[in-house]
C-alpha cells in the first residue's frame, strides 16, 4: 500500500478570496523561450535515445540561460547590434555501449527550429548565438537508468491543484488570444513577447498587459498609440465574450508608455521580444506547468522544462500532481478545491512516493469520511499508472509552461 494521507482544509477557496493575483508569460518572453526550447531539446534527446538504445538515458537540460542581445529599435524599423546568446547547461549522456549521440547537434538544431516556428522575426542563424555547456552526468545518476526499476533521481516535492479559478483561466486565455495566429494576422506589429498580470479584487478584474511592438510596422508615434488603442478594443471585445465571471474588467496596456518621448516613450522592439536587448531569461522563472503563475497558490520550486521525463520527479511529480488534482475534482462529488502533494526519495521507485497527500476544501455538509475512499482510489490509480504517464511525457504530450 502507498503512503497516502487525506485531510480537509478549512480555507476559503481562492476564487472566493477578496484578492487574487495571477500572471502568464507568453512564448516570446525570455523565460518562456528558455522553458520551451529546453523542453523541446529534452524531447528530441529522448527520441534519439529510444531510437538508438531502446530507452531514455540520463539527461537534464534544465539549466538554460538566455543572455539578452542589443538592438536599436526605431520608428519604421531598427537593427540588431548584437545577437542574443542561448546557453545550454546541465547534463546528458553522449556515449553509451560504444555508440555516440550528437547531443550538441540535436540541441542546436532543435533550438533553431523552435525559433523559426515560434518567433516570426527572429532569424536563429543571425540573431542568436548558441553555446553548449552540457556535460556528462555523474556515474550514480547515470546508473539509475540501467537498473531493473528506474528510481527517482532526486529527493523532491511537488504540489498541484484544481480547479483553475476564473482569474487563472482568463489570464491564460488572454495571452493565448494575443499570441494566436488570427490575432497576429490582424495586428502583425504585435510581437510574441506578451505578459499578462491579472489582479482581481472581489468581482473586479484588472489586466495589465505588456505587449512588445515590432518597429518595422510603426512609422510614427501617432500610429503606435492608434494601433495600441485598436489592440485594446479588440481585447475588450474578446474579454466581453469570455469573462462572464467578473462584473468589471479593466485593461491597461504598456503602462510605461509616454507620448511625446519618441522611441523612449513606446515599447518598440526589432524582433518582437525583449530578449533582443531588454531582458535575459532563465529556465524555471516563467509559467508553472499548468500555464500560469498563481501567487495565491502553493507552488513547486522545481523547474520542469528540460528535465528527463523518466526519472526526474521535478518534472514527473510536478505534472502528475496537477493531473491527480484534476481527476479528484472531476470524479469525486462534493470537492470544491483540491491540492495534491507528492514527495520522492532519491533511488526509490517513482510510483512509491515518500508521501502522497490530498488536501480538500469540501462543499458544506460533505463528510471527509464518506469521500476519502474515492479520493484514495483515484490517487492509487494514478500512481499505479505512472509509467504510462512518463511514456506520454516522453512523447511530448504535456505542456510544461
Q: What is the pLDDT of residue 374?
A: 98
The boundaries of the domain holding residue 203 are 14-26+165-282
Which has the closest alpha carbon to 330: 395, 267, 378, 279?
A: 378
Q: Checking DSSP bridges between strand 157-162 and strand 84-88, what pairing results, if any?
A: unpaired
Q: Locate all alpha helices (DSSP H) within 62-190, ordered by sequence.
A: 103-118, 124-127, 139-143, 166-178, 181-186
Summarize pLDDT for 195-210 with one digit per residue, the tens. 999 999 999 999 999 9
Q: What is the pLDDT of residue 138?
A: 77
The answer to whether residues 45 and 51 touch, using CB atoms and an 8 Å cutoff, is no
Summarize pLDDT for 326-345 with one digit per residue, the tens. 999 999 999 999 999 999 99
64 pLDDT higher than 90? yes
The answer to whether residues 61 and 44 touch, using CB atoms and an 8 Å cutoff, is no
Which CATH number belongs to the domain containing residue 241 in this structure?
A: 3.30.300.340
Q: Tell me the average pLDDT across 347-351.
A: 94
| Integer Cα distance of 97 and 264 in angstroms | 57
| Integer Cα distance of 119 and 330 in angstroms | 36
Please report which confidence band the pLDDT of residue 139 belongs to, taking 50, 70 and 90 as the band edges: confident
Q: What is the pLDDT of residue 151?
A: 86
Q: What total of structural domains would you count in the chain?
A: 1
Burial class, 384, CB count within 10 angstroms (exposed 0-12 / middle 13-18 / buried 19+):
exposed
Q: 5 pairs with which residues across the strands? A: 357
The answer to whether residues 332 and 361 touch, using CB atoms and an 8 Å cutoff, is no
Could you tell me if residue 113 is inside a domain?
Answer: no
Helices (H) and strands (E) in the chain, counts: 10, 20
236 pLDDT higher than 80? yes
| Integer Cα distance of 152 and 141 in angstroms | 10
CB burial readout 61-75, b (16+ within 10 A) else e: bbbbbbbbbebebeb
Please report which confidence band the pLDDT of residue 142 belongs to, taking 50, 70 and 90 as the band edges: confident
Could you tell me if residue 295 is inside a domain?
Answer: no
Q: 135 pairs with which residues across the strands? A: 91
Q: Which three cell numbers stand for residue 192?
A: 510574441
Amino acid at each position: 500500500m502507498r503512503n497516502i494521507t487525506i485531510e480537509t482544509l478549512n480555507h476559503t477557496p481562492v476564487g472566493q478570496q477578496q484578492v487574487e493575483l495571477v500572471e502568464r508569460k507568453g512564448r516570446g518572453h525570455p523565460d518562456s523561450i528558455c522553458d520551451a526550447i529546453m523542453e523541446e531539446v529534452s524531447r528530441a534527446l529522448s527520441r534519439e535515445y529510444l531510437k538508438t538504445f531502446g530507452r531514455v538515458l540520463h539527461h537534464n537540460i534544465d539549466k538554460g540561460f538566455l543572455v539578452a542581445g542589443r538592438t536599436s529599435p526605431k520608428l519604421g524599423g531598427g537593427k540588431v547590434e548584437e545577437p542574443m546568446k542561448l546557453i545550454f547547461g546541465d547534463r546528458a549522456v553522449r556515449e553509451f555501449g560504444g555508440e555516440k549521440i550528437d547531443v550538441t547537434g540535436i540541441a542546436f538544431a532543435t533550438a533553431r527550429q523552435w525559433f523559426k516556428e515560434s518567433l516570426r522575426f527572429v532569424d536563429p542563424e543571425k540573431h542568436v548565438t548558441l553555446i553548449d555547456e552540457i556535460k556528462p552526468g555523474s556515474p550514480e545518476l547515470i546508473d539509475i537508468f540501467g537498473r531493473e526499476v528506474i528510481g527517482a533521481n532526486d529527493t523532491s516535492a511537488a504540489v498541484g491543484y484544481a480547479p483553475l479559478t476564473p482569474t487563472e483561466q482568463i489570464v491564460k486565455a488572454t495571452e493565448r488570444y494575443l499570441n494566436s495566429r488570427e490575432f497576429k494576422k490582424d495586428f502583425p506589429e504585435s510581437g510574441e513577447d506578451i505578459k499578462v498580470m491579472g489582479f482581481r479584487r472581489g468581482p473586479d478584474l484588472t489586466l495589465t498587459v505588456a505587449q512588445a511592438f515590432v518597429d518595422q510596422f510603426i512609422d510614427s508615434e501617432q500610429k503606435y498609440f492608434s494601433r495600441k488603442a485598436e489592440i485594446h478594443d479588440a481585447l475588450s471585445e474578446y474579454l466581453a465574450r469570455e469573462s462572464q465571471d467578473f462584473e468589471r474588467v479593466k485593461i491597461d496596456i504598456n503602462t510605461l508608455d509616454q507620448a511625446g518621448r519618441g522611441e523612449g516613450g513606446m515599447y518598440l522592439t526589432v524582433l518582437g521580444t525583449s530578449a533582443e536587448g531588454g531582458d535575459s531569461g532563465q529556465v524555471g522563472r516563467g509559467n508553472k506547468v499548468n500555464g500560469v503563475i498563481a501567487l495565491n497558490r502553493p507552488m513547486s520550486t522545481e523547474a520542469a522544462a528540460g528535465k528527463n521525463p523518466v526519472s526526474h520527479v521535478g518534472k514527473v511529480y510536478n505534472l502528475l500532481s496537477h493531473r491527480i488534482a484534476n481527476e479528484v475534482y472531476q470524479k469525486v462529488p462534493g470537492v470544491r478545491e483540491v491540492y495534491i502533494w507528492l514527495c520522492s526519495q532519491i533511488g526509490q521507485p517513482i510510483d512509491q512516493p515518500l508521501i502522497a497527500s490530498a488536501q480538500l476544501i469540501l462543499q458544506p455538509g460533505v463528510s471527509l469520511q464518506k469521500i476519502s475512499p474515492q479520493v484514495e482510489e483515484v490517487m492509487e490509480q494514478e500512481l499505479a499508472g505512472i509509467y504510462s504517464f512518463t511514456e506520454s511525457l516522453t512523447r511530448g504530450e504535456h505542456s510544461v509552461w
